[in-house]
Amino acid sequence: MGLFDFFKKRKDDLGYDPTNIKLLDLQPGFMFDYREKTWVVQSVYEYGWGNNYFSFEFVIDAGDEQSVMSVEERSGGLFVTIEKSVKPRAIDADLPEYILKNEVPPRQLTYEGVTYLYDRESIGSSRPEGTDEWSDLISWEYYDHSDTKVLCVEQWGENDFEAYVGTVVPESEFTSILPGNLP
């Protein structure tokens, strides 16, 4: 099969339109440019939040840095964040205990001098894309006063906690999206 035959394939065959690849089409091995770096998708996770509402998390690597890109469809288009994993206790030394004791997180958290205000709680399940191994979680989102910085705390099972800190990014900042391997 030649290069031009690849572009003749229909979206149904590939799961995406090869002439117009979008962020939600990303799969492991896909590449894109963001902030003067080329990033490679390492893995994809699907999140189900009920009522047929889904979001996706992409573990991405630029060689010298690894991040998580979260993408979900909202009424105004795609909502995208780029985040880094942080230890929940780096945000607040007693954060896991506070949540376990009160069954809700604090209304406000401060991390590295930025104050984040509680926005919403989401209860759902996640799985590595392509598997049927769902894991339940509770996610709490916080945003700074400008709504450009995000902090997310997740509880997996009874007492496993993860946290992420990052920024809200316009979809237009992601360019040159390419599949990793042409068939």
Task: Determine the pLDDT at residue 9.
Answer: 46
The predicted-structure confidence for 108-117, as pLDDT tens digits, reads as follows 999 999 999 9
Task: Determine the pLDDT at residue 127.
Answer: 97
The predicted-structure confidence for 159-174, as pLDDT tens digits, reads as follows 999 999 999 999 999 9
- Pairwise pLDDT comparison (96 vs 75), residue with the higher score: 96
CA 148, 38, 178: angle at the middle one, nearest 5?
105
Considering only CA atoms, give the Rg of the chain: 18
Residue range 81-97: average pLDDT? 97
- Percentage of the chain beyond pLDDT 90 is 82
Residue range 132-146: average pLDDT? 97
Residue range 51-71: average pLDDT? 96
β-pair partners for 126:
47, 135
Predicted confidence band at 13 (pLDDT cuts at 50, 70, 90)?
A: low
Task: Determine the pLDDT at residue 74.
Answer: 87
Predicted confidence band at 8 (pLDDT cuts at 50, 70, 90)?
A: very low
Predicted confidence band at 6 (pLDDT cuts at 50, 70, 90)?
A: very low
- The two tokens of residue 97 are 């205990």
Using CA atoms, how far residue 129 sits from 21, 28, 65, 172, in Å, is: 18, 10, 23, 25
Predicted confidence band at 18 (pLDDT cuts at 50, 70, 90)?
A: confident
d(CA 74, CA 181): 30
Task: Determine the pLDDT at residue 165.
Answer: 98
